[in-house]
Amino acid sequence: MALFPRAAESPRLRYELVHPDSFDPYEMYEHAREGAPGIDEITRWVTWDPHAHPKETAAFVAFAGEQFDDDEAVTFAVYPRDGEDGAGEFAGTCGLSVDWDLRRGELGVWFRKPFWGRGYSGERARTLAALAFDVLDIEVVCVTHDPDNEKSGRAIQKYVDAMGGRREGRVRNGVVIGDEPRDVVRYSITVAEWQEATGGDYDAEFEW
């Protein structure tokens, strides 16, 4: 059995594994390609550029599948559940990567602009934290953002506070974007902080 789940559900979202065996790259390419609505604003703050052609998206899906097969990370496509505006539409992707030697997980996410401002990022973060702490026995979960991305900073601070974590500070040359090292602001949550803040209880279900 795979270490990471193939699907998950939280109160408003459904998560489906990004893997070449089950996921169509064109579903992502339509929204991650050059010229897609809002893509320049989205990719301003992430480590990847708009995809120039479907082959680039397929390569990403293949890489995500390799990480899953090697028990290194899981990447999900995210869809609003029934009752949500845009139910069933591809809303973006999220993931959890793990350094097993350090017993540390790192969160990542991007959403299409129509799905901004709904609190989905916080719901997704709590779901992946539950996976890390309650299922995978990870000790620390961290997340970073660009120092100039104040909107993400406010959102991250809100959900990290709710999970008992803290802002660690600015990490110099903490990430590479466009072949250039750049600073990031890092936050972390420990399993003890998570358990104290949430009681280890969160409304998420995982499927293998």
pLDDT at 45: 85
CATH class entry, domain 7-203: alpha beta
Domain ranges of the chain: 7-203
**Which has the closest alpha carbon to 145: 177, 118, 104?**
177
Q: How far apart are CA 194 and CA 189, in angstroms?
A: 7
The CA–CA distances, whole Å, from 180 to 32, 35, 40, 110 equal: 22, 24, 18, 21
pLDDT at residue 10, as a whole number: 98
**What confidence score (pLDDT) does residue 47 get?**
87
Q: What is the pLDDT of residues 136-156, one digit of tens each?
A: 999 999 999 999 999 999 999
Per-residue pLDDT for 174 more than 90?
no
What pLDDT, on a 0 to 100 scale, did the predictor assign at position 201?
A: 78
Q: Which long-range contacts (CB under 8 A, 24 or more apart) does 51-55 make?
A: 54/25, 54/26, 54/29
